[in-house]
Structure 1
Amino acid sequence: MAARIAPERRTRLDLVITALLVVAALAAALILWWTAPARSTESVTAEQEPATPLPTESLPTELHELWRAPSGATQVPSVGKATVVTGDGGTMTGRDPATGDELWHYTRDAELCAAVAAWPGGENDALGVYRNSRGCSEVTALDAGTGARKGNRSSDADAEITLSYDKTFALAAGDTRLETWGSNLVRGIEYGRVDAPVNPDVAPERDRCRLFSAASGGDRVAVIERCAPDTGYRLTVLSSTLTSEEKVREWGSHQITDTSHGAPPVVVAVTDDTVSVYDGGADSGADAGPTVRLFGVDAVQQSARTVEGEATPPTGSLPLTARALVTYWTGRSTVVLDGGTGQPRIQISDTIGPGEVATGLLVPVAGAVSVRDPVSGRELRRIPVDRGDYTGIVSLRVLGPYVIEQRGDEVVALGPRPE
């Protein structure tokens, strides 16, 4: 007969340890719940996908203000497939382009660093980046039509960022680091400051770099930076994704100005083969003047074209991609570049911001929207716009028959006078 095994006896110490472990687990769960973003989030989604406005065949002869909304988290109008996305405080809102009525909103108990409507022809996302103890770190992706949450990601970030996107990737760039991610929010690369690198040999080796401007396109990221011991500003061109060895691929990197006494150049457009840079000329020779310089992906200059502009690129001026064109405001004129080659095609004088392609090339000017031939730049007509006492940069987008303008911290929708 088999011997019986006596049951294990629990001592008072065992019970005390078990109780402490249970208390610790409950405390950890409470902390996770208390600090979780979802706890401090309010999400109101649209009941159904809004109808997409039909492209306009002809703009009205007059444009009247239809509505306006605060949107300090956007730098250019964020236009989805059927909605205008605004960002203010901790709230992203999807709005009806005709009325400005709220279709959905997403609010967190945190400040929005930046917001953008991305990939309206495909994923149709609204991306919001929120501030936490690690900088502009918390990324939330929503459906721009309904406001339904699609995903979140988090990583280290700078205290201020610029958020943009190309056909494939989103790009969040600060003054010490940048990163890309796709519509699935999976990171492509991170570059610059990395606090705890798993593999220190992943990125190109440079010391004490400050990043000034970055843009992506054609599976490339171009960065204007200055690193020790550079005397001038440097252009670096990277791949948007890691190599098969999980490393950041650098296509080229060269110092492109002699000194860094003036304002840094600005990356305007990035294609498969070229990088277009606006250079005010202060550090590129006494007689250089403002130019758009065209570089290969090896960061070697190919050509340059003199343009009307300021020596210091205007703060807050961001390039806009409009179908097959890229437009950039230099402070004096709007330069129009070919979106496929990066080559400057035309420039339009006396403008107040970048433009959009609709029934023609629409460019904001004082007191009006100028409709131009996108090939020659010839003005076809002017549509009067009353902007009151606003005198800053105006960026505009078009959604159906509506013209959406970003004026500082506000978004203003224009269209025919309501009946």
Structure 2
Amino acid sequence: MSGWRREPDGTRATTGSSTGRHRAPVRRVPRNGRSPWNRRRDRVFAALIVVVCLGAAVAVWSVSDQRGTVQRTAAAPAPRPPAPGSVPGALTEMWSAASPATPVPVAQGPTVVSAEGGEVLGRDAVTGEVRWRYARDLELCTVALAWKRVLVVHRKELGCSEVTQLDPDTGRRTAQRNSDAELGTRLVDGRGQVTTTGRRLLVSWRDDLVKTNEYGEVPALVNPGRQPRTGCTYGSVAATSGRIGVVERCPEDPGDRLTVLKAVPEKSDKPEQVFTAVLAGRDAKVVAMSGDHTAVVLPEQRLLVIYGAEGDQRAAYPLDLPAADLGGDPKGGVVPTNEGAVGMFWFTGSTTVALSRSDLTPLWTLRGTLGPGTRFAGQYVLPIEGGLAVVDEGTGATVRTVGVDRHGYAGPVRLDSTGPVVLEQRGDQLAALK
């Protein structure tokens, strides 16, 4: 038998047993006991932790890209209306919008893009109605079309470094990356890769915006000694499938240098040259590339020189053009060109020159134009003073002209078309004609 006694805290303990052994005291938790977190000081401490976490989250959000982004997407639009069977006898301006960030019209399907400040708007091609919007609290550098997507480049601290890819139908963001493009950059579409222009750096990406090549003065260099030359500046850039052409000016060269690069080398930070050659003179411009051929203007000799796959000179053609058309680097490092059904079209500044698609041989010249033109309704049209000239692509003969009221604007005009709409980029203004 064992006895029990009551302890001061309310528990009971044995006093003995017939076996002579004692049992350890058993402590019961008081029914009115409190959790440690019920104390006031603990609740205050927990509240402080929550406040600190919320404050940190707000601080991160306040400086994040998301805070400075406005995105309003849209449902997929109706199909694009068809183009007419031939260029109409009259065209009327349907709408216009400020768009200084689009060097050329940006159109895909039923959508036309305008871009100003930090804002990109997707518009109905016929009415101009805004369907979607993408805006950043950053200035735009440039906007272009590639891979049937809208490429948007915004300016950050060190240059044109924020690149966003948008679905033209909905405005939905499909890819984004940071890059090292320079201020004043343009985007050159090489049918596979897009290359940013610059005075000291060229950067190429594939369609998911993964970098494939960087050439020149690379910031934050990780692996030195991988560039073939240093101290060079770049005057003009062109591209074709798998290749990039650039005119360089290097301190030790007696003349300008033409270099053709692989758009996708084995390592993106180690450029691979297809060929490089010092040219006979200064102030050269790379005009166009097609297949293995590269066309370069030599102003001092007044020649258009065609180079082959290994840098060999295939042909040279005299140019009867004003000196102002031949000299100086093109704006943004890109010579104004466009493609037609059978050739490429180069705008010199006062004249359009048609080049053979197969080997870039000059085919014909039309003076008094305002741009390289575009295909519309199965025909090729060129901007001229007071309207458009419908021309035969093979001969350059003017079939007829169509009047266009440009409201006093007399500068260069870049054209594009989508369905029944002709688009004109008149400096900082975009206009739609139908």
Pair 314,249 (structure 1): closer, same or farther in 2 beyond 3 Å: closer
Quote the Cα distance in structure 1 between the aligned partners of 2:59 and 2:234.
36
Pair 394,150 (structure 1): closer, same or farther in 2 beyond 3 Å: same
Aligned to 2:326, the other structure's residue is in SS state: coil
Counterpart contact for 2:236–2:329, Cα < 8 Å? no
Give the 5 Å matches for 1:133-282.
133-204=157-228, 206-243=229-266, 247-258=270-281, 260=282, 264-279=283-298, 281-282=299-300
Aligned to 2:104, the other structure's residue is in SS state: coil
Quote the Cα distance in structure 1 between the aligned partners of 2:231 and 2:313.
25
Aligned to 2:66, the other structure's residue is in SS state: helix
Match of 2:362 among 341, 344, 366: 344
Equivalent residue, structure 2, for 1:131: 155
- The answer on 1:293 being equivalent to 2:334 is no
Pair 28,312 (structure 1): closer, same or farther in 2 beyond 3 Å: farther
User: Where does the alignment leave 5 or more consecutive residues of structure 2 unmatched?
Assistant: 1-48
Counterpart contact for 1:79–1:397, Cα < 8 Å? yes
Quote the Cα distance in structure 1 between the aligned partners of 2:129 and 2:422.
16
Quote the Cα distance in structure 1 between the aligned partners of 2:268 and 2:170.
39
Equivalent residue, structure 1, for 2:107: 79
Counterpart contact for 1:129–1:137, Cα < 8 Å? yes
Equivalent residue, structure 1, for 2:394: 375
Q: Based on CA coordinates, which of the two structures has the bigger radius of gyration? A: 2
CA shift digits 1:371-405 (9 cap, x unpaired): 11101111111111112221111111111121101
Counterpart contact for 2:227–2:270, Cα < 8 Å? yes
Q: CA deviation at 1:347?
A: 1.8
Q: CA deviation at 1:29?
A: 5.5
- The answer on 1:318 being equivalent to 2:336 is yes
Quote the Cα distance in structure 1 between the aligned partners of 2:125 and 2:141.
23
Counterpart contact for 1:113–1:131, Cα < 8 Å? yes
Pair 25,208 (structure 1): closer, same or farther in 2 beyond 3 Å: farther
CA shift digits 1:205-263 (9 cap, x unpaired): x12111111121120000111012123211110000122697321011112132x3xxx
Aligned to 1:361, the other structure's residue is in SS state: strand
Bigger mean CA deviation after superposition, 129-138 or 355-364: 355-364
Pair 278,397 (structure 1): closer, same or farther in 2 beyond 3 Å: farther
Q: CA deviation at 1:411?
A: 0.8
Pair 29,229 (structure 1): closer, same or farther in 2 beyond 3 Å: farther
Aligned to 2:231, the other structure's residue is in SS state: strand
- The answer on 1:66 being equivalent to 2:94 is yes
Bigger mean CA deviation after superposition, 355-364 or 315-324: 315-324
Quote the Cα distance in structure 1 between the aligned partners of 2:310 and 2:369.
33
Counterpart contact for 1:313–1:331, Cα < 8 Å? no
Quote the Cα distance in structure 2 between the aligned partners of 1:373 and 1:307.
22
Q: CA deviation at 1:24?
A: 10
Counterpart contact for 2:391–2:398, Cα < 8 Å? yes
Pair 29,345 (structure 1): closer, same or farther in 2 beyond 3 Å: farther
Quote the Cα distance in structure 2 between the aligned partners of 1:214 and 1:379.
31
Pair 31,362 (structure 1): closer, same or farther in 2 beyond 3 Å: same
Q: CA deviation at 1:365?
A: 0.8
Quote the Cα distance in structure 2 between the aligned partners of 1:276 and 1:37.
42
Instruction: Report the residue type matching 1:380 in the other structure.
Output: V
Quote the Cα distance in structure 2 between the aligned partners of 1:62 and 1:314.
36
Pair 328,314 (structure 1): closer, same or farther in 2 beyond 3 Å: farther
Q: CA deviation at 1:183?
A: 1.2
TM-score by length of 1: 0.85
Counterpart contact for 2:213–2:267, Cα < 8 Å? no
Aligned length: 381
Equivalent residue, structure 1, for 2:27: none
Match of 1:360 among 371, 379, 382: 379
Aligned to 1:33, the other structure's residue is in SS state: helix
Equivalent residue, structure 1, for 2:28: none
Instruction: Report the residue type matching 1:305 in the other structure.
Output: Y
Pair 208,25 (structure 1): closer, same or farther in 2 beyond 3 Å: farther
Aligned to 2:222, the other structure's residue is in SS state: coil
Quote the Cα distance in structure 1 between the aligned partners of 2:99 and 2:297.
27
Match of 1:331 among 341, 346, 349: 349
CA shift digits 1:164-192 (9 cap, x unpaired): 21321111111110111111111110111
Quote the Cα distance in structure 2 between the aligned partners of 1:107 and 1:245.
30
Quote the Cα distance in structure 2 between the aligned partners of 1:239 and 1:350.
37
TM-score by length of 2: 0.82
Aligned to 1:116, the other structure's residue is in SS state: strand
Aligned to 1:208, the other structure's residue is in SS state: coil
Equivalent residue, structure 2, for 1:4: none
User: Where does the alignment leave 5 or more consecutive residues of structure 1 unmatched?
Assistant: 1-20, 283-287
Instruction: Report the residue type matching 1:318 in the other structure.
Output: P
Pair 211,83 (structure 1): closer, same or farther in 2 beyond 3 Å: same
Identity %: 35
- The answer on 1:56 being equivalent to 2:84 is yes
Instruction: Report the residue type matching 1:357 in the other structure.
Output: R
